Amino acid sequence: MLSRLTRPWALVVCAVPVVGLIATAAFAPLPFSVAQPGLTANVLGDNRGEPVITISGAPTRATSGQLRMTTIEATLPDEEVGLGEVIDNWFRTDRAVMPRDAVYPSGGSVREIEEYNAEQMRESQDIATKAALSHLGLSGSEVKVTLRLADVGGPSAGLLFSLGIIDKLDGDGEGGDLTGGRTIAGTGTISADGEVGAVGGVALKTQAARRDGATVFLVPKAECGDAQAELPAGLRLIPVTTLDGAVDSLVALESDPGAVPSC
pTM of the complete model: 0.83
**Is the CA virtual torsion 247, 253, 200, 151 positive or negative?**
positive
Which are the contacts of 94, defined by CB distance < 8 A and separation ≥ 6?
Answer: 36, 37, 204, 207, 230
Residues of the chain with pLDDT under 70: 1-30, 89, 102-103, 105-108
Q: What is the pLDDT of residues 23-67, one digit of tens each?
A: 444 444 567 888 899 999 999 999 999 999 999 999 999 999 999
Of 32, 40, 116, whose CA–CA distance to 74 is shortest? Answer: 32
What's the confidence (pLDDT) of residue 102? Answer: 67
Whole-number pLDDT of residue 75: 79
* DSSP secondary structure letters along 146-181: EE--TT--SSTTHHHHHHHHHHHHTTTTTSS-TTTT
Q: What's the N-to-C CA distance of the chain in angstroms?
A: 68
- How many helices (H) and strands (E) the chain has is answered by 8, 12
Would you say 220 and 244 are in contact if contact means Cβ atoms under 8 Å apart?
no
CA–CA distance, 83 with 34 (Å, rounded to integer): 12
Q: How many whole angstroms from its chain centre is CA 56?
A: 28
